[in-house]
Amino acid sequence: MHLSLPAIGLLVVAGLAAGIVNGIAGGGSLLTFPALLAAGLPPVSANVTNSVSVAPGYLSSVYGSRRELAGQKRRAWTLVPIAVVGAGIGCVLLLITPGDIFEYIVPFLVLGATAVLAFQDQLKGLARRGRTTTMVGLTFVGSAYGGYFGAALGVVLVAVLALVIDETLQRVNALKNVLSATVGLVTVAVYALFGPVSWLGVAVTAPATIVGGYLGAKLAKKLSAQALKITVVVFGTVIGLVLLYRAIW
């Protein structure tokens, strides 16, 4: 694949912004995914390239939010294996899904994930807060989503974890970073072997997401929970509607 200088610039800016947003609350892949589409990649290739590109940024976000992980070690070790299994299943589903079907599904996945976060407080009453079974089940679903469609993974994980964990959004965000990194590593392993990855796109985007991920994790400590939520909901809604327009017309 050939990338023009404007396309390279677009991917660098999108990668940096995505890393920052992922470190804050998730949803940064909603920036890199359409940027890869604009660079000329077909939807499935853009999706797998996006998943591989943002994975390093998740790792730097974990490092940046390590203080907020204090006291959550047992919870994290309980959920990480679930995330591995869920992500693996999601990857397989993507690889066997026809490209045209995937293109129509994507906007609804993005808008659905954004709606879950937007109406998080109302949905809390539907979940039994603190119940391990509920937390494990939601983590599995969120991770399978991440394996299938990397964009908005952080939105989904923040939304579902906040339903059942009685912690500040900053501490939920730190746990989300661990699970996002786990899903990211699984997607890198699977798609590197079997997916239509554009390695040139990864080489341009990934370094920017690493820098942005660390900066975003630091910035997340200074923002209010409401500011975190509004930031991601706005991103998710706008990009979801744009993708829906592209799919229909």
Q: pLDDT (tens digit, 0 to 9) for every residue of the chain, 249 residues total?
A: 678 888 899 999 998 888 887 777 667 777 888 899 889 898 889 989 998 988 887 888 888 888 888 888 889 999 999 999 999 999 999 999 887 788 788 788 878 877 876 776 676 655 545 567 778 888 999 999 899 987 778 777 877 787 788 788 788 888 988 999 999 999 999 999 999 999 999 999 999 988 888 887 777 777 776 776 787 678 778 877 877 887 777
The CA-to-CA distance between both ends of the chain, in Å, stands at: 26
Spatial contact of 141 and 86, defined as CB atoms under 8 Å apart: yes
Distance CA 36, CA 41 (A): 6
Residue type (1 letter), 52: V
Distance CA 156, CA 186 (A): 17
* Tokens encoding 7: 């396309």
pTM reported for the whole predicted model? 0.79
Rg (CA), the chain: 16
Spatial contact of 61 and 216, defined as CB atoms under 8 Å apart: yes
**Residues 6+ away with beta carbon under 8 Å from 185:** 55
Distance CA 21, CA 96 (A): 30
Best CA proximity match to 30, nearest among 183, 216, 203, 238:
238
